[in-house]
Amino acid sequence: MEAQSAVHVATASLNVGHFQWTGSGTVLDLIAASTNSLNGALLARRPDHYKNFTVVGILVMALLMGLGGGVTRDIILAKIPDAFTNPAYWVVAIGFGVLGYFLAYSKGQLFREGFFQFVISFSLPWYAMVGVYKGVQADLPVVAAIGLGVIATTAGRWYVDLSSGVTPKQFIRGEWWIPIATLAASVWVLTYWVWDNVYLASAIAFVVAYVVRVLALWYAWEEPLAKEPKGVYIHSDGRPMLGRKLKDKSQRELRDLGLVVERAPDASPTEAANPPAGANG
């Protein structure tokens, strides 16, 4: 009884006014919002997405990716989005967006791309788990709950890609983007059904999805390309292996992805290797 009272007091101390940090999957949702906001800022600074964005524009991109999935999920569930009733979402989203803004040009392009992919791998399972959890709470059929998790996971990236004039990641070659979200949501449902414990289910689902995602990046396991009539379009045979990125051997792969910062005719090699924070590319 005393232990329960202590837990209640600790939880109450974290929730002040409209700021709610715990309860009903809020912790998991805030982790998803914060890490995805970091991803949004990093993504907006990549050469394939950057369109001379202002500082405010980059932070808005962070908010789109950090909060977009949760807002979309809650609208589907016909409820006021949690981000509009709990200011904690905006605090973590803006905070991690600012962090992503400064991290984007802290190291070389290969480091940034490797770091970005690891952060994506970390954040991708969280929205899937929160989405399927909310779906189960709403008594949705299992398939619909898993679908809700996938939508919540990928909606934020959809908004950022469209805002940047880039084909959404869901439709193009990648390291099993939607399948990883589906895997995380499915493992969560199965584990929750067996043990009836939200946090245990989340831990297991996260580890499984994260490991599979990193392995997919490292070994370039990607969704198969659709067959094309001969002569219509030639796909590159090079795959963006994360291991090659981290070993500084992936200039060709980065160029295929549109991530290489090309040197201007009048720029020195030093300037090309270290572009200013606001440089296009």
Give the pLDDT score at 67.
95
User: Percent of the chain, pLDDT > 90?
Assistant: 44
Give the pLDDT score at 133.
92
Residues of the chain with pLDDT under 50: 1-13, 237-238, 248-249, 269-281
- What are the extents of the domains in the chain? 18-219
* Closest CA relative to residue 157, chosen from 37, 29, 17, 27: 37
Give the pLDDT score at 199.
86
φ, ψ of residue 2 in degrees (nearest 5): -65, -40
Give the pLDDT score at 256.
55
Give the pLDDT score at 3.
39
Give me 107's structure tokens: 């190291």
Pair 184, 159: CB distance under 8 Å:
no
Give the pLDDT score at 259.
57
